[in-house]
Chains A and B, each alone.
Chain A
């Protein structure tokens, strides 16, 4: 009886503890960011998941995709993308992949950063054709407008989840591969 009385008096506190423990479990043993999900882990880590995508056209060419969301002319909503970035569950990644496949992709140029590591920079220059353009999902009213802006369509997409973190020793931000999925049309 005493326990029941205690639960009755402090039910909300118990709910906070249960939600917090679930969040702690998901952020430590799954991919949920500590910053969100009711575990009060904001400002506790610089680790952040980041979603990278490579698309494959009909002719086999691969393109780099810049996964962006928007309220207006991008077929991926900001809310969905943010939620997926904060907790990149497989079903959401698959849904994201389908949204990318079904949209037109508009090319934008990439400026190679001077402070990126030498090996990566060399790799980027060696594969300049792939890295000089990043394709952003965009909504077009018809194919003609899309064509005018050199937007393309892809057949399949590989979505990769990485984690970036700051390392104090060398003042670097480094990315580490976590997992990937492939989504076909």
Chain B
């Protein structure tokens, strides 16, 4: 049974037509192994299938296995559509693209042109949502840095508010959320300086994101400027907002649509981005308080 299954699978193996294609497929598999899961069910399948496809290179471009990955991602992610982060949805689009590519007679240009537009559209939606939700006015980043535990240590370093006070904000907000009383509120400690700095960052981020969107949607395919903008965006943004999955999928889409010349920079950035995992804030906090 297992032998006949393997024979069927092997029949659907394809050799890579170019190094570019191999890089795209292998990096996509790496991403799926590292960050493809959205729960234990999917995680087990992804680790087994994608890791084996990487280990046995002849299966990396197997169209049955890519179809299986697509179906699993679609099934598990649709079950928890309102829970999963947006980059997990982007994973699904990307894997579907690869599957369509394998099951039709399209050439590599199909992946290149679609990945370029996907990056542009993602950025366009991100900018549109920000504008609609009032990101242009002060407050978003300031609020985030005052009550989101991921950024509190940065706040502590900037405005020198004791960390306990900031941690206490989180507790107060959880009580506020518990009580059934309209218009009740919790006051947080901050400074106008902090508000101004973060508002400047906020506006800069919005404009930069808009630029990336515009370049990916409207610039020429061979333009290096769009790649440089995306690389700066990934390094600048994701070391502050540590969403490794989003930066990784953007970089893989970047690799897919880039020229040979720019591809190496995407790969270097992909490696650099893994350092997001280092708990910089905690290390600095520890060193500050122990020396």
A interface list, Cβ under 8 A from B: 9-13, 15-17, 19-20, 24, 27-28, 32, 34-47, 50, 52-54, 64, 66, 79, 82-83, 86-87, 110-117, 119-120, 123-124, 131, 134, 158, 160, 162, 164, 166-168, 170-177
Q: Specify which of A79, A87, A116 is in contact with B186 (CB 8 Å cutoff).
A: A116
Tell me, in angstroms, the Cα distance from A44 to B84 when the chains sit together: 16
B142 at the interface (CB under 8 A from A): yes
User: Which residues of A lie under 8 Å from residue B147 when comparing CB positions?
Assistant: 166, 173
In the complex, the 8 A-B pairs of residues with the closest C-beta atoms, listed nearest first: A166-B143, A41-B129, A168-B139, A113-B172, A45-B133, A174-B185, A40-B125, A120-B184
Mark out the residues of chain B between 153 and 179 whose CB falls within 8 Å of any chain A CB in the assembled complex.
Answer: 168-169, 171-173, 175-179
Residue B126 interfacial (CB < 8 Å): yes
Contact status A41-B125, CB under 8 Å: yes
A36 touches B84 (CB 8 A): yes
| A84 nearest in chain B by CB position | B82
Q: Are B138 and A168 in contact (CB under 8 A)?
A: yes
Taking chain A's interface residues, is the majority helix, strand, or loop, or is none over half, making it mixed? mixed
Task: Give Cα distance in the complex from A24 to B124, angstroms.
Answer: 12
15 contacts between A and B (CB under 8 A): A13-B121, A16-B93, A16-B122, A24-B125, A28-B132, A36-B85, A42-B246, A43-B130, A43-B144, A45-B134, A79-B80, A120-B185, A171-B188, A171-B190, A173-B188
Q: Which of B19-27, B109-117, B274-282 contacts A (4 or more CB under 8 A)?
A: B109-117
Q: Give bound CA distance, A35 to B182, whole Å.
A: 24
Chain B positions within 8 Å of A166 at CB level = 139-140, 142-144, 146-147, 188
Q: Main secondary structure on chain B at its contact with chain A?
A: helix
Are B178 and A37 touching (Cβ within 8 A)? no
Least Cβ–Cβ distance between B267 and chain A, in angstroms: 24
Distance between B238 CB and nearest chain A CB, rounded to angstroms: 11
Cross-chain contact B187 with A117 (CB below 8 angstroms) = yes
Residues of B within 8 A of A17 (CB): 121
Q: Which residues of B contact A37 (CB under 8 A)?
A: 81-82
Q: Which residues of B contact A46 (CB under 8 A)?
A: 139-140, 143-144
> B126, A116: Cβ atoms under 8 Å?
no
Q: Which residues of B contact A64 (CB under 8 A)?
A: 178-180
Using Cβ atoms and an 8 Å threshold, which residues of chain B touch A117?
184-187
Do A120 and B179 touch across chains, with their CB atoms under 8 A apart?
yes
A20 close to B121 (CB less than 8 A): yes
Roughly how many angstroms separate A110 CA and B177 CA in the complex, as a whole number? 12
A168: which B residues are within 8 A, CB to CB?
A: 137-139, 142-143, 195
Q: A40 contacts B129, CB within 8 Å?
A: yes
Q: Is the CB of B183 within 8 A of A175?
A: yes
Please give, as numbers and ranges, the residues of chain B lying within 8 Å of A113 by CB-CB distance.
168, 171-172, 175-176, 186
Q: How far is the CB of B20 from chain A (nearest CB, A)?
A: 19
Chain B CB within 10 Å, residue with most, of A37, A44, A82, A176: A44
What distance in Å separates the Cβ of B113 from its nearest Cβ neighbour in chain A?
Answer: 7
Beta-carbon contact of B126 and A41 below 8 Å: yes
Taking the closest CB of chain B, its distance from the CB of A87, in whole angstroms, is: 5
Chain B residue numbers with a CB within 8 Å of A54 are 180
Nearest A-chain residue to B116, judged by Cβ: A13
Residue of B nearest to A86 (CB): B82
Closest to B123 in A: A40
With the chains together, A82 CA to B46 CA distance in Å? Answer: 24
> By the criterion CB–CB under 8 Å, are B140 and A45 in contact?
yes
